[in-house]
Structure 1
Amino acid sequence: MSGPGGRDRAGWFVALPVAVLVAALLIFRSVVPGGSLLPTFLPWLGVTVPLLAGLAIWRRSRVGMLAALLPLGAWLTVFGGHLVPDGDRPHDLVVVQHNASDENPDPAGTVRALLAAGPDLVALEEVTPEALPVYTAAFTADYPHHAAHGTVALWSRHPLADAGPLDIRPAAFGPDWNRGLRAVARTPHGDIAVYVAHLPSIRPAATGLGTGNRDDSAARLGAALRAERSERVILLGDLNATAADRGLTPITSQLTTSDADFAFSFPARLPIARIDHVMARGLTVTSVRTLPRTTSDHIPIVAGLAASD
């Protein structure tokens, strides 16, 4: 039977390689290969900390317990800010983003749930032509302005100008794929270019996760953002990726969001990642949180934005 020293050495051999691997994945996440899979599950690497600690306790390994501190420190370095509540940070605008699902059985109920947040802007994706009149009728008189193109739509308290399609269609898709729009919201804080986008889904392929079409669409959206002349920009959309996904670099290199809450939005039954986003330029996203679940397979998110000085 192994004595305490043997148990400690066994804990070392088991825990240390795992601890080093997890810490490396967290700290060097920007260069470690992993496509979209690693960024999606990156926050969940923290689960290894209690597992390693539990194993160390079971093995009575002091070294194993120390090893568990390595991924814990790495996780807190990357995600510690998410644990700090937003509180009541000042904001000038409230916006809601929601993939409402093209199979949503209760569009009117979905709208009522979203309006409970008191938003200035509401962006929806997967709005079918048949459902659009139902959604429009469900918005109250406080939202007299709206724009729609393809399967994306925007409702606003404030007047909308220059509303039109946004071409983010991947080269591999046909002309019937239309999932982007741009409008200018004339708010009390000045004109703001508002983009609504729904990037293609990731499709499993024989070689792994098929992200080519999504990345192509993200690059086109990034090009449109670079060409945008307005100083203030808001992007609302289902980007089918987390903000850490390198496929979104053409977008995230230009816009920022709030990381003070995980705000996992998909899938609704067991949310594991935030793939619905509110990002901005020329404004500060002060908070992002989820709203109660609707009849969609996504969870809506609401964000506060402060106008820059």
Structure 2
Amino acid sequence: MHIPVVVGALALTALLLGHGLIPSGIGTWVDALLPWSGLALIPLAVLALVLKSGRGAISLLVPLVVLALLFGRDLVPLPSGPVDLRVATQNLDADNPAQCKALQALSEADLLAAQEVTAQCGLDYPHHFAVGTVALWSRYPITDSARLDLDLGWYRALRATVNAPHGPVTVFVAHLGSVRPGATEDRDRSLRRLAELARAQSGPVLVLGDLNTASTDREMALFQGFQDARSGFGFTWPAAFPVVRLDHVLYRGLTPGSATTSAANGSDHRAAVAGFTTSGQLAPRAGTAPVTR
């Protein structure tokens, strides 16, 4: 009577360990929903209870251990630390009539990045740079800036050098193309280009924006040496009941002191918010996740 439960446990374990072998396309969607795969343990546990299967119940420990190894750190909140650079990013939703309200709600950030910007809001920031529908507002001087070609067919990304309290920080803001079932090539190509540009920079680097790429997506391994500043899973989309993190605060050469998500204010994405200290070099902390899985 234990066979159905054992088979289910083995199938879940195989998915957790072998999801990267699933071809891109469907594999991208599997990657995105991987953190939710642990919910399969609930019906399996109920089945083991109904069947009074001790062996079946014991077999569930295998996928449980694998889940703990893969996602245990995501259940640990980011310890608070000193912050001298506050950062926020949000996809505002082009059709959102409350874009200015959404931006004002994030205006405590020293660096505010936004995507799908269509409104003129007159924010109280001394420095601003925009390319198409992506924008960066800064309380610190922007000493260099450029629009980026990520092979999207349009310009929806920028790079800026910000003179932060302890020295320059290179900031990328991007909005990558959406992933469609069976069609990830365009997103993958632009993500690869963005990662190449970010890795090529020296000194502290931030990559902000809606990358349309889940934290667990295999392509996030392109950002070798970067971390994703989040506390817990930090899901941002859809705003009403977030199930995946598409909006990222990737960093290198900075030390995170806080991370959260905040209200959508009319958008279909929640904002990703983080705080850093810019003095010293990167010091990995519990609760920050490398962008490899």
TM-score (norm 2): 0.89
The 1:285/1:32 distance shift into structure 2, 3 A limit, reads: farther
Distance 1:285 1:39 in 2: 26
- Work out whether residues 81 and 256 of structure 2, in 8 Å CA contact, stay in contact via their aligned partners in 1: no
Matched ranges for 1:17-96 at <5 A: 17-33=7-23, 34-96=26-88
- Work out whether residues 236 and 271 of structure 2, in 8 Å CA contact, stay in contact via their aligned partners in 1: yes
Q: Aligned pair 1:256/2:233, yes or no?
A: no
Q: Deviations over 1:144-177 (max 9, x none)?
A: 111100110001111112122011133xx3xxx1
Alignment partner of 2:60: what SS? helix
Alignment partner of 1:298: what SS? coil
The CA deviation at 1:187 is 0.9
Moved over 6 A (4+): none
The CA deviation at 1:259 is 5.4
The CA deviation at 1:178 is 1.1
The CA deviation at 1:102 is 0.6
Distance 1:296 1:269 in 2: 10
Q: Aligned pair 1:127/2:117, yes or no?
A: yes
Distance 1:103 1:222 in 2: 29
Distance 1:84 1:217 in 2: 32
Q: Aligned pair 1:217/2:190, yes or no?
A: yes
- Work out whether residues 152 and 197 of structure 1, in 8 Å CA contact, stay in contact via their aligned partners in 2: yes
Distance 2:117 2:48 in 1: 51
- Give the partner amino acid of 1:211: T
TM-score (norm 1): 0.85
How many residue pairs are counted as aligned between the two chains? 278
Alignment partner of 2:100: what SS? helix
Q: 2:203 aligns with which of 231, 238, 242?
A: 231
- Work out whether residues 229 and 248 of structure 2, in 8 Å CA contact, stay in contact via their aligned partners in 1: no
- Give the partner amino acid of 2:199: R
Unaligned runs of 5+ in 2: 282-293
- Give the partner amino acid of 1:227: A
The CA deviation at 1:113 is 1.8
- Give the partner amino acid of 1:64: G
The CA deviation at 1:24 is 2.4
The CA deviation at 1:27 is 3.0
